[in-house]
Amino acid sequence: MTDEPTRKRRILLRSGKSPFDVASLEQSLHRDVFATNAGNLIFSDAAHKILTTPRAEVFSNGIRTDPSAAERINEEYDAFVVPLANAFRPTFERPLKRMTQLIKKLRIPVVVLGVGAQASLTYDASRLKPMEPTVREFVTEVLNRSASIGVRGEFTEQYLKDMGFRDVEVIGCPSMFLNGDTFQVERKTEALTADSLISVNGSHSAVRAHGLDSIIRQAHERYPHLRFIGQNLLEAQLLHWRETSNPIGAQASMPTHPSHPMYREGKVRLYVDPVTWIDELRAYDFSFGSRIHGNIAALLAGVPSTVLCSDSRTLELCRYFGIPHRKITETPKDIDPAELYAAADFGELVNGHKERFLRFTGFMERNGLENTFTHGDGGAAFDAQLGKLSFPPAVRPWIDSDPESLSGRFSWMQSRMEELTAQNTMLRSQLDRRSGPVSIKVQAGDGAAAAWPSAYRRARRVVGRPVRKLLRPEQ
């Protein structure tokens, strides 16, 4: 009788991409690898690292939910792990329903590694009432396949308990445990000065409705080395292509808009990979703004940070982890970042981290999941593998026209044109082989050109207005 090697557990992780998936800036934006918000990759990459042990392999499923893939998932994987952000919000109800449809068909354990409800700073859940049946069904199906459900903080815990659920555990967000049970934040300077390198972040809603634009504008005037770090897909499109089809992108008060002074001065960045995001932030002296994961990225780099909370999702995480924060509604619109820096206290964050880590890993163990810090090498192999890869640089404002800046964009557009031309040819061939009449709906226009969209027409939906003239065929 011989001992057969123990088969590794195969864990399917809901994430936009694997941490080891390297793509160009153009490919990343086209594929939307971070599911509209780069902050999603901060916690999904952390989950990937934490779950990787000698007895477990982790695979990314992509961010889209396909209920028809349930049988394949049952056959190929041993567990489905789902780290979520503010999934309990009205605008996410349809994706949440699709996820529930998938989970209903699964026979393997399903573990939610942190989820949050989004409401106001006063924790008023009334706006969530209409979607309560959807949330109830989702949580019920998850608990049918796990010992408990992990939530991000106090508000979400009470929200679910008010529905009658009891197997609810506050575990925060996996991103904060990227480096295990220790957490270090270093003040490089006693006080901020005009020479300090400062990062600021913020959502469109915080800039538009909560006066963050005024705070950013005055900080820009005071600190020449201020940088705005964007996170949304539409912001990346504006930086790289100077255009987006999303109407929210027209908000000129955002530093990611081409008309904004910070854009014109090249003082805006956006990262498509957490490893480059965190690494580049290590050089900064301070980070502040309304983006929770924008500031968590800075904290993971050891940089002092303060969150300007604009809703329950950020507030409950800050309270749970002891992250310095202020309610943005109570923050003066002329606040100096130096004041935020001086007032920030990291005692609770650092001193309470180990206890929170043990609570997090205890939740994992109760749900049948091992972690790399207790059962593996502490993420050493994971970090070494990342270190061997060459990730693309930050997305920056397109404010120059030198050949090096243009070559990557044009090369990608040419490849897309070739792909679309090949697809066009294939579709024509397939239709030519079909028997019987083919009904084609013709749009406005004359002749076959209107019935058969050219590769050019399809490509123009991908690229921005600044480069369309270069691709336009001669009339």
pLDDT at 62: 84
Which helix H or strand E contains 214, and what residues bound it?
helix 212-222
Residue 147 identity (one-letter amino acid):
A
Predicted local confidence at residue 318, as pLDDT: 98
Most confident residue range from 289-298, 404-413, 458-467: 289-298
Residue 416 has what pLDDT?
73
Local confidence band at 400 (pLDDT 50, 70, 90 cut-offs): confident
Tokens of 257: 């808009």
3-state secondary structure of 359: helix
Shortest CA distance to 454 belongs to which of 432, 473, 433, 475?
473
Q: What number of CA atoms fall less than 13 Å from residue 138's CA on the CB side?
A: 23
Q: Which two tokens stand for residue 274?
A: 């957490």
Q: How far is CA 206 from the centre of its chain?
A: 18
Is the distance from CB of 48 to CB of 175 less than 8 angstroms? no
Percent of the chain beyond pLDDT 70?
Answer: 88
Indicate the range of 183-197, 314-328, 411-425 predicted with least confidence: 411-425
- The C-alpha atoms of residue 219 and residue 433 are separated, in whole angstroms, by 64
pLDDT of 307 strictly over 60: yes
Q: Among 87, 191, 65, 91, which residue's Cα sits nearest to residue 139? A: 87
For residues 245 and 363, the answer to whether their CB atoms sit within 8 Å is: no
Checking if the pLDDT of 250 tops 80, the result is: yes
For 140-180, how does the pLDDT look when each residue is reduced to its tens digit (9 = 90+)? 999 999 999 999 999 999 999 999 999 999 999 999 999 99
The larger pLDDT score, comparing residue 421 to residue 65, is at: 65
Average pLDDT over residues 236-248: 90
Rounded distance, CA 279 to CA 274, Å?
8
pLDDT for 253: 94
Mean pLDDT of 20-25: 92
Question: Using an 8 Å Cβ cutoff, are 114 and 43 in contact?
Answer: yes
Specify the pLDDT at position 430.
81
Q: Which of 6-10, 242-246, 271-275 has the highest mean pLDDT?
A: 271-275
Q: Reply yes or no on whether the pLDDT at 192 is more than 60.
A: yes
- Rounded to the nearest 5 degrees, what angle is found at the Cα of 300, between the Cα atoms of 335 and 389? 130
Residues in the chain: 475
If you average pLDDT over residues 36-58, what whole number do you get?
A: 96
Locate 333 and state its tokens: 């619109």
Q: Are 317 and 150 in contact (CB under 8 A)?
A: no
DSSP, collapsed to helix, strand or coil, labels residue 388 as coil
Q: What integer pLDDT is reported at residue 405 of this predicted model? A: 67
How far, in Å, CA of 80 to CA of 60, rounded? 10
pLDDT digits (tens, 9 = 90+) for 363-374: 999 999 999 999
Per-residue pLDDT at 465 exceeds 60: no
Q: What share of the chain is helix, strand, coil (3-state, %, to 5)?
A: 50, 10, 40
What is the structure's pLDDT at 458? 46
Residue 1 reports pLDDT greater than 50: no
What residues contact 229, with CB distance under 8 A and at least 6 apart?
199, 200, 201, 268, 269, 270, 271, 277, 287, 289, 291, 294, 297
* Nearest residue to 282 via CA among 303, 261, 297: 303
Whether residue 133 has pLDDT greater than 70: yes
Predicted local distance difference test score (pLDDT) of residue 4: 46
Mean pLDDT of the chain: 90
Encode pLDDT of 335-385 as tens digits: 999 999 999 999 999 999 999 999 999 999 999 999 999 999 999 999 999
pLDDT, residue 276, reads 97
Query: Each residue of 422-457: pLDDT tens digit?
Result: 888 888 888 887 755 545 444 444 443 343 444 445
* Residue (of 360, 358, 370) closest to 109 by Cα position: 370
Q: Are 29 and 240 in contact (CB under 8 A)?
A: yes
Q: Quickly state the pLDDT bin for 410 (edges 50, 70, 90).
A: low
pLDDT in tens, 279-290: 999 999 999 999
Residues 118 and 111: their CA atoms lie apart, in Å, by 20
The residue-averaged pLDDT of 187-194 equals: 97
Q: Whole-angstrom Cα distance, residue 138 to residue 96?
A: 7
Mean pLDDT, residues 206-223: 95
